[in-house]
Amino acid sequence: MRKLFAAFAVMAMLSPGAATAQNPPTGGTFSLPINDDPQMWPLAGGLYNILVGKALYSGLVRYNLETLDPVGDLAESWTVSEDGRTYTFALRKNVKWHDGEPFDADDVVFTVKLWTNKAVPFYLANNFRLIESVTATDSSTVVIKLTKPQAAFPVLLGYNASILPEHLLKNLTPEQLINPTEFLKKPIGTGPFKFEQYQPGSFVRLVRNDDYFDGKAKLDAMVFRIVPDANSQLALLRAGEVDLAVIEPFQLSSVANTPGIKIQSVPIVRSEYIALNNSVGALSDKRVRTALTLGLNRELLLKTVFQGRGTIATGPFPPSVSWAHNADIKPLPFDPKQTQALLDEAGWKVGADGVRTKDGQLLTFTVLYDPSNPTRARTALIAQQQWNAIGVKTTFETSEYRAIVERMRQRPPAYQINPNYQVTPPDPDGVANNYLSNSLANESQYKRPEIDNLLDQGATAQSREERAKIYKRVQEIIHEDQPIVYTVDPDEIQALSAKVESFPKAGYRDALAWSHLIVKR
């Protein structure tokens, strides 16, 4: 029933025209842009990797596109023990890897052990911090035991947690598994499409996997065009060279009435923010961090950069996770006077040149951003103008997005301030990865033991009511500390070629887990 429900729900969520087509067309190539060369290695992260990986690999579970509840993928079903600590997964049978080898429980055991192997960096490792053991009781059954109950465990399994082929990777050392070069020349998954060609700096081409366990894809192939610049991506859509572009809000007016292009706006668990490296000088002082939030007119950002499509963000859990979102917390206002008072209190006084100083040091920061993304570039410019007005001098450094991610995940992180965004699982336990003190994904280096304890309590609490209470307290503390500048919780705006007859109405990274259902004329 779990599988059938998921399939019907997805068909109901397809773009207009799909439900009425008596004999939907098959074949064709669906093209979309990605902003960098993909490593095609699921442990590495990065949107350019994730998007290709969604069509190439499979996870134990994926998300129902209507409810975002976890439903079976490689796992046909699962049960959980009464104490919430033991999950038993019944795997699909007769599934094949793209090289023809059979998929079985050993692949799952191998992959889960990789996730928890501290010698192999995995950016989502903290999502699986409660795993105690994983065993195969037979070729199609896997038992995962946790140290404590974790209500969100199936949700986290659906978030970029691809299963990997043991038979191709088991003999590699941990060092080799950081970047398995030979495997990545022709990566092997179980997804609806399989690898055919990679031209660095140009494209990745996947072709239909006729042995896909959930039904042969409607398309012949998918092509991921490597196009870093958002305006160039949109130009390719207009020219008919790609079939989908996720556009920035200010671009909407330029394509809204364009023949051959249709628009769909979908809710998504996404937050825009300005990351602050809490381990760097003045940014370790919450008065300075709070001043940066108070000194930024986020209403102006929402109106001009996001065209009013979203809400002012207040913390780590957006309104789309409604049961855990603390609606009692109101956004800090744009208040230059309070900003200046806070900075004065922190000892940063305005100098003769208008820049604040303390103990002979200037209050100055470098804002690192990706110029190919207009939203982040405009955010950086507005922040610079408004922070300069309160005596905080900022300079710019630009870099490609991949390099920015690498620098933010170094220890210590090699940046000071960075406008960025995140898309997270539809559960606060998936956001915890960004705030736990020891997490690779904690790019702001915000460390507070009380937050660590609360996040662990929220992960292990059994009832949603108890979890909601815990997470609302987390938001209260984070609101007080302002570890980053929360800007906007936006929708995702997708511009699609009119030749696309059906595309799941969901954020495109989740939709691509159902890429076998995409239909194009």
Side-chain-side CA neighbours of 270 within 13 Å: the count stands at 18
Answer yes or no: is pLDDT of 280 > 50: yes
The per-residue pLDDT for 22 is 53
Q: What is the pLDDT of residues 78-117, one digit of tens each?
A: 999 999 999 999 999 999 999 999 999 999 999 999 999 9
Q: What is the pLDDT of residues 155-199, one digit of tens each?
A: 999 999 999 999 999 999 999 999 999 999 999 999 999 999 999
Instruction: Give the homologous superfamily in CATH for domain 270-490.
Output: Dipeptide-binding Protein; Domain 3 (3.10.105.10)
The token duo for 272 is 């825009």
Q: Over 90: is that where the pLDDT of 67 sits?
A: no
Residue 134, CA distances (Å) to 4, 88, 158, 430 in order: 28, 10, 17, 21
* pLDDT for residue 17 is more than 70: no
Positive or negative torsion for Cα 66, 223, 123, 164 = positive
Per residue in 429-455, pLDDT tens?
988 889 999 888 899 999 999 999 999
Taking residues 329-334, report their average pLDDT. 96
User: Under CATH, which number does the domain 2-226+493-520 receive?
Assistant: 3.40.190.10
More confident residue, 60 or 372: 60
What is the pLDDT at residue 24?
62
pLDDT of 2 over the 60 cut: no
Taking a C-beta distance cutoff of 8 angstroms, is the pair 478, 315 a contact? yes
Torsion of CA 443, 446, 449, 451, to 10 degrees: -80
| Alpha-carbon distances, residue 451 vs 12, 447, 459, 483 (angstroms) | 40, 8, 12, 12
φ/ψ of 415, rounded to 5, equals -160, 170
SS3 track for 412-475: CCCCCEEEEEEECCCCHHHHHHHCCCCCCCCCCCCCCHHHHHHHHHHHHCCCHHHHHHHHHHHH
pLDDT score of 218 more than 90: yes
> Does residue 9 carry a pLDDT above 70?
no
pLDDT tens figures, 130-140: 999 999 999 99
Q: Give start-end residues of each CATH 3.10.105.10 domain in the chain.
A: 270-490
DSSP letters along 154-216, please?
Answer: HHHHTSS-B---HHHHTT--HHHHHS-HHHHHS----SSEEEEEEETTTEEEEEE-TT-TT--
How many Cα atoms occupy the beta-carbon half-sphere of 153 within 13 Å?
Answer: 27
Q: Where are the CATH 3.40.190.10 domain residues in the chain?
A: 2-226+493-520
Contact (CB, 8 A) for 29 and 206? no
Asked if residue 384 lies in contact with residue 394, where contact means CB atoms within 8 angstroms, the answer is: yes
Give per-residue pLDDT as tens, 348-358. Answer: 999 999 999 99
Question: Do the beta carbons of residue 141 and residue 89 sit within 8 Å?
Answer: yes
Here the tokens at position 147 are 């140290």
